[in-house]
Chains A and B, each alone.
Chain A
Amino acid sequence: MADRWFDGTYYKREITPNYMDCNTERRVFLHYILGIFSEIAGDESQAKGRTHEVLVNQGRVFLITRMSIRLHRTPCVNETLIFRTWFRKTEGRFFLRDCDVTSPEGELIASVSGTWVLIDLAEHRVLDTSEHPLSGLKSFSEAADSPECRKVFSEETLPVIGTRPVYYTDLDCNCHLNNTAYSRIATDFLPPEYQSREVRDFVINFNKETKLEDTLEIRGEGRRDSFLIQGIAGNVQHFACEFTFS
């Protein structure tokens, strides 16, 4: 049986997380779910002929700017998950895509959203959505039950909680830190008392590309039911995210 298919409206993928995709409690890592969402967005583009190569040859690339997820419950190892994604609409210069994650019986496990921008590789500028290689993108009114992909910020300067060098294996084919790596790094720097808590909502902003030679200064602070983390290099914020716990 194919593990990914297009049902005419939605692009779907069935996946079973392994032990290596889970924490020590055998619960699926947040970054794993976000990574699959990011992958299937790419799968759908690819299935429609807009491969990474085609875009790069046109001097363009899609970059993700924000992601959000609501975990109705955290899935476990060896649990079959069905990801269903759809392009929702364009808003300003952003392409908005949603996704839900269900059990084979239809139980809603997680709702995910993401915003992408189209970049001109030569000029390093964000292109208008009308410059998308396929005109007349079909949009949907249906929205996932995920938190808004809002801007994450803190009015106060957060305390430094660590530093994280960028390693070669954090990079992807775009030669920068893969988007999944940011939420993995954020999880790594949560204090242990937060790592063991159930995440309900998570929002992340990707502000600036991070390269191999960078070292991220990790700043963070907990509030009663949330924890904010920022990654900064050279006084510039590269990412910011907020975990909200059940």
Chain B
Amino acid sequence: MSEAWYDGASFSRKFIFRFGDCDRQKRASLYAVMKLLSELAGEDYERRGLGYERLSGIGQALLISRLRLQFLRMPLHIETVTASTWERCIKGPFFCRDYEIRTESGELLVSGSSQWFLVDIISREVLRPACLPEGGRQEDPRKSDAPECERLKKLEGLSFLGSRTVYYTDLDANGHVNNAVYAKIAVDFLPEELRTRDLREFSINYFTETKLGEALEISGGETEKGFAVQGIAHGTLHFGCLFGF
């Protein structure tokens, strides 16, 4: 297994973006970056005794609510990087977690902010952070370069871009569409001319879980803040995101 280590509250792992992780320009895909960061956060909780099995055993799960990423440059095919994450603080119901991806020489490529919350896996009720069992949690107040997560709202008047069926392999162990898969869906429905541009910012909010058998109606369009994409099923907003190029 690739090298992983702790430095105080910060958990880091070396990673190489491979062929299947990259787009046609041989740049890491947004999905691959989000998958790496999500796995890193999960592994950090796992190592601190708050992993999926422990929490599901007591009827709890930690779910991501918002993520905001800032890109100075996308990692490239077979580039070795170090990805790091740390829990920054608790704010209201949210566990705030930040991220960084750096080159081997320390050059910052990606920084991120995220907000996670604790739920009861049966009732789906949001639980207070204090309900999280004792584990080896540690905080580091250092803020990454990425701005704080923003609250995105349902936008009216966006153009219909297409419909996306939820497939079996989109689901994770929580039985719903995995958080990184939403980015993959959003990129798939971007206008072709935007996909080749350099992504500078990406912000996503997860509103409602999406299950197998559902179909997301994808809409999108240019806004003052960037290109917005949102997914709606049965009139309910499931995710909304914003690309800044």
Count of residues in B whose CB is under 8 Å from the partner chain = 35
* Max chain A C-beta neighbours (<10 A), residue from B43, B77, B169: B169
- Residues from chain B with a CB closer than 8 A to the CB of A35 are 20
13 A-B pairs whose Cβ atoms sit less than 8 Å apart in the complex: A1-B3, A24-B172, A42-B18, A42-B19, A78-B46, A167-B184, A171-B24, A172-B24, A173-B22, A178-B19, A180-B20, A184-B169, A188-B168
**17 further contact pairs, Cβ within 8 A, besides A20-B38, A167-B184:** A3-B2, A3-B3, A19-B173, A20-B39, A20-B178, A23-B168, A23-B169, A24-B173, A39-B20, A46-B78, A80-B1, A167-B188, A168-B187, A169-B184, A172-B22, A187-B168, A195-B168
> Residues on B close to A: CB < 8 A?
1-3, 18-20, 22-24, 26, 29, 31, 35, 38-39, 42-43, 46, 52, 77-78, 167-169, 171-173, 175, 178, 180, 184, 187-188, 190, 195
Instruction: Out of A16, A29, A168, name the residue touching B195 (CB < 8 Å).
Output: A168
Q: Give the size category of A's interface with B.
A: 35 or more
Instruction: Out of B3, B23, B175, name the residue touching A171 (CB < 8 Å).
Output: B23
A183 and chain B: residue at smallest CB distance: B169
Q: How long is the Cα–Cα vector from A38 to B21 in the complex, in angstroms? A: 13
Q: How long is the Cα–Cα vector from A2 to B78 in the complex, in angstroms? A: 15
Instruction: Out of A2, A15, A175, A180, name the residue touching B24 (CB < 8 Å).
Output: A175
Q: How long is the Cα–Cα vector from A18 to B167 in the complex, in angstroms? A: 19
- Residues from chain B with a CB closer than 8 A to the CB of A42 are 18-19
- Residues from chain A with a CB closer than 8 A to the CB of B22 are 172-173
Task: Please tell me if A200 contacts chain B, counting CB pairs below 8 Å.
Answer: no
> How near does chain B come to A83, taking the closest CB pair, in angstroms?
12
* Max chain B C-beta neighbours (<10 A), residue from A77, A178, A180: A77
B14 and chain A: residue at smallest CB distance: A3
